[in-house]
Amino acid sequence: MSEKIPPFPNTPETEVRLKDAELVEAPQKLSPKEASKELMTPERLELAHAIRTERRENFQRLRELRAKALLLEHQLQNKTAEANRIQEELSQLSSERADEATVLAERISQLLEEQELLRGEREGLHQLLEDDAAIESIRTKVQEHYGKAEELGNKKFEGELKTVQQVMMRNDAFVVHTIEWNPELRHNANSNVSQATTFEDDLKILLAFEPTISASSVKTGVNEEGKVSGLWSQAGGVLLGKGEIRSASAIDAGTVSRGIKNRWNTEEGQTPEEIDAVVRMRRAAFDERAQAEGIRKVELGGYNELVIDNPEVFGYFKPADVDENGIFWIHNLRTKKELEKMHELHGRGRSYTMELEVFNRNLESYREEMNRVKQVGLPVFVMTPDRRVLECLDITNSGQVIVGRELRPEDVANGRSGVVIEDRKKLGEELLSKQVFRDEKTTQEAKKIVEEL
């Protein structure tokens, strides 16, 4: 039971992912004009060209209409002058010669009708000049353009509110994707990945292809009802730093993979507020039987399901717990009890060979998993039953975890997630050479993703 241990390979992955942290700010909604410039540049340029063309084509027609309006005005003035002259003659002759007066009266009536027609045509032309169809067409196009820009701006704003980063920041919650260490449990019938893949392959698939996955949110602590955040598996998993939340369900939604970048579900179209309501909930409880033995163990179930597009991994976590003295133990406090039992047997001169064999097997499995994660290039953490996340610096031969800093969701949101494009492409090509996918359709989708990187 020596405390002298082989060195746990400490690498600066955590510091690398935290040192270049960028403060994540709440998104701002774009005005229609801003959305037009940012989201519709090609359409904006096309509209400007159409306006210039339409104005140029209608310039000559508008000039001809104005000339015709001036001519009508001149004709109307002449007709009015002639009508006034004849009216005066009629007044002079009406008392002298009835026949001539009748002729002049008919002529005046005709002139008045012509005047009315000229006035109507003049007014119509002026109205046409004021409300030219081309101008109205341009006005309509501009209104439609900015209406579409506003719609796109609102969609972009809502999409930003539904990102993993923003949801973590607003709700002070981690977003995690659990991974089974046992290969027989890791890929069921819903998976498009071969059961022959290794644990490292699974991590590399996440890093290289950023596939659409199901995940859960967890909040640190216990609520007033004594509830904690549940997880699909207690084996461990990845902390997600980025991605887009497509849907959120308060329970297991039974989503099914339909490809690398698609996952069937029935919960899409939720607002950011509806997603927040799911993320804030705690529904799991501590196992009463385990609790009676002094072990904090969360019951299975009580977890939510988030569907995440383009997830980016921040780091990897394994379960651990802390005793009343502030010492952290791998898995849970049963590790401490098993160690105490072996010391008791040793003190009584009894054999503890079988117990030691099981203890060491669990210890080495835990340590091996962490080492393999670090070889992939990810930082490692431990997560307690009440969902505290702490940096894992070392693991002793006694099953104790030497922890570093405690992380908050904002640390993950502001930190660096995923890997650079060159590494994604390299990992993708490596996985394709190993034929990790079950069917040809998924393999072809993977090839296309790598080609487009």
366-394 pLDDT tens trace: 999 999 999 999 999 999 999 999 999 99
Query: Which residues are within 8 A (CB) of 230 and not within 5 positions of it... i.e. 6 or more apart?
Result: 216, 282, 283, 284, 298, 299, 300, 301, 302, 303
Report the alpha-carbon angle 117-122-124, nearest 5.
Answer: 95
Q: In angstroms, rounded to a whole number, what is the distance separating the alpha carbons of residues 164 and 276? A: 11
Q: Residue 8 has what pLDDT?
A: 43
Query: How far is it, in rounded angstroms, from Cα 331 to Cα 295?
Result: 10
Whether residues 149 and 208 fall in one domain: no
In a domain, 318, yes or no: yes
387: left (phi over 0), alpha (psi -120 to 50) or beta: left
Helix (H) or strand (E) holding 91: helix 41-93
Same domain, 129 and 228: no
Question: Percentages helix, strand, coil for the chain, rounded to the nearest 5?
Answer: 55, 15, 30
Closest CA to 248 of 230, 224, 274: 274
β-bridge mates for residue 317, sequence order: 237, 381
Q: Please tell me whether residues 86 and 216 are part of one structural domain.
A: no
Q: What angle do CA 343, 390, 290 make, to 5 degrees?
A: 50
Structure confidence at residue 284 (pLDDT): 92
Q: Is the same domain home to 352 and 218?
A: yes
The domain boundary, picked from 157, 182, 217, lies at 157
Where b means 16+ CB within 10 Å and e means fewer, 160-173 reads bbbbbbbbbbbbeb
Q: What is the CA radius of gyration of the chain?
A: 39
pLDDT of residue 265: 78
Q: What is the pLDDT of residue 71?
A: 60
284 and 222 co-located in one domain: yes
Same domain (yes/no): 140, 259: no
Residues 123 and 184 grouped into a single domain: no
Tokens of 396: 């002793």
Distance CA 285, CA 222 (A): 9
φ/ψ of 17, rounded to 5, equals -80, -15
pLDDT value of position 28: 78
In a domain, residue 253? The reply is: yes
Q: Which residues, at least 6 apart from 216, have a Cβ–Cβ distance to it below 8 Å? A: 175, 176, 177, 178, 229, 230, 231, 232, 303, 304, 305, 306
Domain final residue pick, 157, 181, 215? 157
User: Do 38 and 179 fall within a single domain?
Assistant: no
Q: What's the rounded Cα separation, in Å, for the pair 316 and 237?
A: 6
Q: What residue type is assigned to position 110 of the chain?
A: Q
Confirm whether 164 is domain-assigned.
Answer: no
CB 146 within 8 A of CB 36: yes
**Quick one: 332 and 415 in the same domain?**
yes
pLDDT computed for residue 117 by the predictor = 53
The ranges of the chain with pLDDT < 70 are 1-23, 36, 48, 51-52, 54-136, 183-186, 188-190
Residue located via tokens 């953490």: 381
Query: What are the DSSP E strand ranges found in 294-384?
Result: 305-322, 328-330, 380-383
What is the count of structural domains for the chain?
2
* Statement to judge: residues 208 and 140 lie in one domain: no
Considering only CA atoms, which of 109, 143, 176, 163 is closest in space to residue 313?
Answer: 176
Q: Are residues 217 and 269 in the same domain?
A: yes
Contact 229, 387 (CB under 8 A): yes
Q: What pLDDT, on the 0 to 100 scale, is given for residue 55?
A: 63
β-pairing, 256-257 vs 263-264, is antiparallel
Inside any domain, residue 239: yes
* Residue closest to 411 by CA, chosen among 23, 2, 143: 23
DSSP 284: B
Residue 8 lies in a domain: no
> 22, exposed or middle or buried, with CB in 10 Å at 0-12, 13-18, 19+?
exposed
27 part of a folded domain: no
Kindly give, in sequence order, each residue whose CB lies less than 8 Å from that of residue 214, ignoring residues fewer than 6 positions away.
177, 232, 253, 255, 263, 305, 306, 307, 308
In a domain, 168, yes or no: no
Polymer length of the chain = 453
Among 127, 157, 187, give the residue marking a domain's end.
Answer: 157
Question: For residue 262, what are its two tokens?
Answer: 């698609």
Residue ranges making up the domain that contains 201:
173-452
Tokens of 332: 């849970």
Residue in the structure block whose two tokens are 């969609």: 155
Identify whether 16 is part of a domain: no
Q: Examine the domain organization and report whether 42 and 119 are in the same domain.
A: yes
